[in-house]
Amino acid sequence: EELYDQENDPAQEHNVAAEHPDVVEDLLALACGFIREKPFHESQEADIPEDVQKQLESLGYIQNTAAPDDSLRILRHCPDTP
């Protein structure tokens, strides 16, 4: 898992995930919930707050040109996923 401070580290050279496990957990929970509710084939539009969307984009969990395998990559990290 990776988390970067986009404002102070735009080159993403210092992974701060270990320093902020609560943020990583919260963002992953949001991503997992979104993917389970709206699979790739149903919608690519996010009904999430803009600031959360930017955080998820900075982590690589979502992007403007998401592919189906991106959803699968996230689901592998979701709790209760076989």
Q: What is the pLDDT of residue 68?
A: 53
Q: Which residues contact 12 (CB under 8 A, 6 or more apart)?
A: 2, 4, 6
Residue 43 to residue 14: CA distance in whole angstroms: 33
pLDDT computed for residue 29 by the predictor: 86
Does position 54 have pLDDT exceeding 70, yes or no?
A: yes
pLDDT per residue as tens digits for the range 8-20: 999 999 999 999 9
Contact call for residues 77 and 19 (beta carbons, < 8 A): no
Which tokens sit at 68?
A: 């189906």
pTM value surpassing 0.85: no
